[in-house]
Amino acid sequence: MAQVSHHGEWTSGFCDCFSDCELCLITYFFPCITVGRIVKVADRGQSSFYQGCVIYTALQCMFGLGFLYSCCYRKTVRGMFSLPASPCNDFCAECCCPLCSITQTYRELKNRGMDPSKYLGDAPPPQVMQK
């Protein structure tokens, strides 16, 4: 697990997908699960895991545009920790390599003590103090 860094720095690289093989496999076969978990935490409990899963799946299956939904949450997570849009902007990251982008976003929450897998039920995710 990566060390928690200060605001403005990612805790893991964009192409570090295989640093967590379980997450990588889940995201590869069922990206809706990973996105749903991110949504639950990034929305601070306002949206449920299931809502995130359903919206992502519907957009992906009907229009092939699930990446637009996950892009919004990548941007939200970046804002929570003042992270740079690197290696490229969120849209390009999600469009060109959604597996890398989604897993990096998930790892960021997990590495900063907000493990999305722990907040699937009714428990609200922790609040983030912003500067």
pLDDT digits (tens, 9 = 90+) for 24-48: 999 999 999 999 999 999 998 899 9
The dihedral over CA atoms of 42, 47, 52, 53, expressed in degrees to the nearest 10, equals 130
- What are the extents of the domains in the chain? 17-112
Residue whose tokens read 């892009």: 71
Q: Report residue 80: phi and psi, to 5°.
A: -60, -35
Provide the residue count of the chain: 131
Q: Which pLDDT tens digits describe the chain residue by residue (131 residues)?
A: 445 556 789 999 999 989 999 999 999 999 999 999 999 999 988 999 999 999 999 999 999 999 999 999 999 999 999 999 988 899 999 999 999 999 999 999 999 999 888 866 555 556 655 55
**CB of 103 within 8 A of CB of 17?**
yes
